[in-house]
């Protein structure tokens, strides 16, 4: 049995129901909607359809092929798991915004034309901002900064799509080749994907939202952007290299963080760098690797945010410097954390190892990229040893308990998926857009991974417990530049206002002065008036005579 219904309808139409229900009914409705959405997605048959007239175009709301199905599967699956997690909290608006956000992303990846994609892209920005703001307090100014970035990115994307539309003559989602269209689409998607230095909104916002919101936030926006790159601009070497830069930059900043969710956020930048690198390489192996990494990353990153969210929920603390000893007090959380940590670090037997290996392997002909990715892998394991040790392993007095049942089920299920895919990667290979030739169990790949992991482990054991002792980082990210720009803009605006006022007043004063000066010519003296009259007459007569001649 197959269906052909756009899954986004389930989320966007169903989400408002959540506001009408209370308590247990709402929890059930949340999970049920996510389940229905996943069911519809998994039952989709390939094809194109659901055409709607908007502006002057026939939009295509549903385009189902291998690539969009891959995205749809993982998005709808993680929505279900994240919904289970979020159901533990009695926050109706959080649930509403989360489902709306999920729906807009699913709409974007199944879009058959660029205008539909653009519409969902901008709605993604609005719904995710609402999700961030839902918590109130610190999340509010962060959400405003987030919105500024995403509106700018969306506007650049719109400009690029408009340019492409004129060049290509149609709106179908596909490769983009023109000059301006490529640059603008890359920049617009680059904001969402976290190109350095357009990434600062990510570590600024994700740690400040509600812990359940962070789970949702971590999985969609950046991956939808990777999908856009895979459709519109695969195989651009500059983008692949940017992916490498993102990988190393992200992990470097992550390593020095004290705030756990900020550390995870920087890792998003880093891991998305792998995906961007894979897609940027453009080869079948590269795109497969990048998309496989999208799938796996969504699973283990959501799990990381779930586990760390459980720690924050239990202890009330966001930073590692005052944590410790939770391994025994929160066994389920600890176990699922370690599964995710091994997955993100690329430990063989977990899903991350497979896709990370695919990307690094695809990069073997581009040495600078390869170096960046391997170095980032080293830093990744190192930073998760840091988190694992200082939160769970080292002795500590902070109290903590495992979270409520739905959250534990969500964590455990996600962890199970990470392990299953890690052990039976052919399950994932069957979903990839291109035929797969990568063998994760090839000894060279195993050796590669083990070496990096051993190096990181050795480093941590030797010096990590002292050098990486959690404390407030002294390094500042590019935020500094943006804040300065903001302040500069405000100052420039005030200066502009003052200048305008002065110019206007000077202009008015000059006119007034001319008026005053010309008053003096009104002497009231008949003789002077006659003289003036005579001069004027003489001038007019001479001009007339000259004209007639």
Which positions from 182 to 221 touch other proteins by CB under 8 A, shown as an x/- string?
A: --x-------------------------------------
Q: Which is nearer to other proteins, 73 or 152 (CB)?
A: 152
Stretch that binds other proteins, among 11-19, 147-155, 292-300, 309-317 (CB under 8 A): 147-155
Asked whether position 363 contacts other proteins by CB under 8 A, the answer is no
Smallest distance, Å, CB 181 to other proteins? 9
Cα distance between residue 263 and residue 270, in whole Å: 11
Smallest distance, Å, CB 228 to other proteins? 17
* 265, two tokens: 């956020």
Of 21, 155, 172, 335, which lies in the binding site for other proteins, with binding defined by CB under 8 A? 155
CA diameter of the chain: 114
Smallest distance, Å, CB 504 to other proteins? 6
The answer to whether the Cα torsion of 101, 74, 17, 29 is positive or negative is negative
Smallest distance, Å, CB 344 to other proteins? 33
Q: Which is nearer to other proteins, 56 or 365 (CB)?
A: 56
* 321, two tokens: 């410097």
Of 32, 35, 165, 375, which lies in the binding site for other proteins, with binding defined by CB under 8 A? 165
Asked whether position 504 contacts other proteins by CB under 8 A, the answer is yes
SS3 readout for 424-465: CCHHHHCCCCCCCCCCCCCHHHHHHHHHHHHHHHHHHHHHHH
Name every residue whose Cβ is closer than 8 Å to that of residue 294 and which is 6 or more positions away in sequence.
70, 71, 74, 223, 226, 227, 275
DSSP reduced 3-state for 22? coil
Query: Which residue, 334, 410, 317, 328, is CA-closest to 89?
Result: 410
Q: Which is nearer to other proteins, 426 or 500 (CB)?
A: 500
CB 214 within 8 A of CB 165: no
Of 62, 117, 147, 372, which lies in the binding site for other proteins, with binding defined by CB under 8 A? 147
Asked whether position 169 contacts other proteins by CB under 8 A, the answer is no
Of 90, 144, 514, 533, which lies in the binding site for other proteins, with binding defined by CB under 8 A? 144
Q: Which is nearer to other proteins, 161 or 323 (CB)?
A: 161
Cα distance between residue 303 and residue 310, in whole Å: 10
Stretch that binds other proteins, among 72-80, 134-142, 245-253, 271-279 (CB under 8 A): 134-142
Long-range CB contacts for residues 14-23, cutoff 8 Å, separation at least 24? 14/99, 15/95, 15/96, 15/99, 15/100, 15/103, 16/96, 18/92, 18/95, 18/96, 18/99, 19/92, 19/93, 19/96, 23/90
Q: Which is nearer to other proteins, 145 or 408 (CB)?
A: 145
Neighbours of 339 (CB within 10 A): 27
The answer to whether the Cα torsion of 478, 483, 489, 492 is positive or negative is negative
Token pair 């480093």 is at which residue?
459
Q: Interface residues for other proteins in 462-501 (CB under 8 A)?
A: 489-490, 492-494, 496-497, 500
Smallest distance, Å, CB 506 to other proteins? 13
Stretch that binds other proteins, among 11-19, 133-141, 317-325, 405-413 (CB under 8 A): 133-141
Residue 259 has φ and ψ, to the nearest 5°, of -70, 125
Stretch that binds other proteins, among 40-48, 157-165, 239-247, 313-321 (CB under 8 A): 157-165
Asked whether position 136 contacts other proteins by CB under 8 A, the answer is yes
Asked whether position 549 contacts other proteins by CB under 8 A, the answer is no
Q: Interface residues for other proteins in 71-130 (CB under 8 A)?
A: 115, 119, 122-123, 125-126
Of 140, 427, 463, 540, which lies in the binding site for other proteins, with binding defined by CB under 8 A? 140
Q: Which is nearer to other proteins, 36 or 148 (CB)?
A: 148
Stretch that binds other proteins, among 28-36, 163-171, 320-328, 432-440 (CB under 8 A): 163-171
What is the H or E stretch that residue 62 is in?
A: strand 57-64
Asked whether position 543 contacts other proteins by CB under 8 A, the answer is no
Smallest distance, Å, CB 476 to other proteins? 22
Q: Distances from the Cα of 181 to the Cαs of 1, 165, 189, 277, 403, in angstroms?
A: 40, 9, 12, 21, 48
Cα distance between residue 286 and residue 273, in whole Å: 13
Neighbours of 88 (CB within 10 A): 19
CA angle centred on 294, ends 217 and 310, rounded to 5°:
40
Smallest distance, Å, CB 503 to other proteins? 8
Cα distance between residue 124 and residue 106, in whole Å: 10
Smallest distance, Å, CB 192 to other proteins? 15
DSSP reduced 3-state for 48? strand
Which positions from 39 to 68 touch other proteins by CB under 8 A, shown as an x/- string?
A: --------------xxxx------------
Smallest distance, Å, CB 148 to other proteins? 6
**How many residues touch other proteins (CB under 8 A)?**
41
Q: Which is nearer to other proteins, 13 or 166 (CB)?
A: 166
Q: Which is nearer to other proteins, 221 or 383 (CB)?
A: 221
Cα distance between residue 524 and residue 526, in whole Å: 6
Cα distance between residue 486 and residue 499, in whole Å: 20
CB 229 within 8 A of CB 239: yes
Q: Which is nearer to other proteins, 210 or 267 (CB)?
A: 210
Q: Which is nearer to other proteins, 116 or 233 (CB)?
A: 116
Which residues in this chain contact other proteins in the complex, by CB under 8 A? 53-56, 115, 119, 122-123, 125-126, 133, 136-137, 140-141, 143-144, 147-148, 151-152, 154-156, 158-159, 162-163, 165-166, 180, 184, 489-490, 492-494, 496-497, 500, 504
């Amino acid at each position: 049995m197959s269906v052909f219904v756009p899954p986004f309808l389930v989320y966007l139409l169903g989400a408002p129901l959540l506001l009408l229900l209370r308590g247990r009914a709402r929890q059930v409705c949340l999970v049920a909607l996510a389940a229905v959405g996943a069911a519809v997605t998994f039952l989709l048959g390939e094809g194109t359809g659901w055409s709607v007239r908007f502006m002057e175009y026939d939009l295509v709301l549903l385009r189902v092929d291998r690539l969009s199905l891959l995205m749809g599967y993982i998005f709808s699956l993680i929505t279900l798991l994240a919904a289970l997690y979020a159901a533990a909290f009695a926050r109706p608006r959080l649930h509403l915004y989360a489902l709306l956000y999920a729906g807009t992303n699913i709409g974007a990846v199944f879009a058959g034309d660029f205008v539909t994609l653009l519409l969902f892209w901008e709605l993604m920005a609005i719904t995710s901002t609402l999700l961030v703001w839902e918590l109130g307090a610190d999340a509010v100014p962060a959400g405003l900064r987030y919105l500024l970035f995403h509106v700018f990115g969306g506007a650049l994307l719109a400009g690029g799509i408009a340019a492409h539309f004129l060049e290509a003559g149609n709106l179908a989602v596909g490769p983009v080749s023109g000059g301006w269209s490529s640059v603008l689409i890359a920049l617009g998607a680059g904001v969402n994907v976290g190109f350095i230095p357009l990434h600062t909104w990510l570590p600024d916002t994700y740690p400040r939202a509600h812990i359940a919101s962070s789970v949702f936030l971590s999985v969609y926006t950046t991956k939808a952007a990777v999908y856009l790159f895979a459709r519109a601009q695969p195989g651009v070497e500059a983008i692949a290299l940017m992916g490498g830069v993102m990988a190393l930059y992200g992990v470097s900043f992550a390593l020095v963080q004290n705030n756990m969710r900020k550390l995870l956020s920087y890792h998003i930048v880093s891991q998305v760098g792998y995906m961007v690198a894979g897609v940027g390489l453009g080869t079948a192996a590269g795109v497969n690797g990048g998309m496989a990494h999208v799938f796996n990353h969504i699973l283990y990153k959501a799990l990381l945010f779930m586990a760390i969210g459980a720690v924050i929920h239990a202890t009330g603390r966001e930073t590692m410097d005052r944590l410790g000893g939770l391994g025994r007090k929160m066994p389920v959380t600890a176990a699922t954390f370690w599964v995710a940590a091994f997955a993100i670090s690329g430990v063989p037997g977990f899903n991350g190892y497979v896709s990370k290996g695919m990307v690094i392997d695809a990069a073997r002909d581009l040495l600078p990229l390869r170096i960046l990715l391997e170095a980032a892998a080293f830093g990744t394991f190192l930073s998760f040893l840091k988190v694992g040790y200082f939160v769970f392993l080292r002795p500590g007095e902070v109290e903590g308990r495992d979270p409520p049942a739905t959250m534990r089920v969500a964590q455990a299920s996600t962890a199970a998926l990470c392990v299953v895919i890690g052990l039976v990667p052919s399950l994932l290979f069957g979903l990839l857009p291109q035929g797969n030739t990568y063998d994760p169990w090839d000894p060279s790949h195993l050796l590669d991974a083990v070496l990096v992991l051993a190096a990181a482990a050795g480093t941590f054991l030797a010096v990590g417990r002292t050098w990486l002792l959690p404390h407030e980082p002294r390094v500042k990210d590019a935020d500094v530049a943006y804040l300065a720009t903001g302040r500069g803009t405000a100052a420039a605006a005030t200066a502009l206002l003052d200048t305008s006022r002065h110019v206007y007043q000077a202009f008015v004063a000059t006119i007034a002065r001319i008026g005053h000066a010309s008053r003096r010519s009104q002497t009231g003296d008949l003789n002077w008036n006659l003289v003036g009259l005579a001069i004027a007459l003489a001038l007019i007569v001479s001009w007339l005579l000259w004209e007639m001649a």
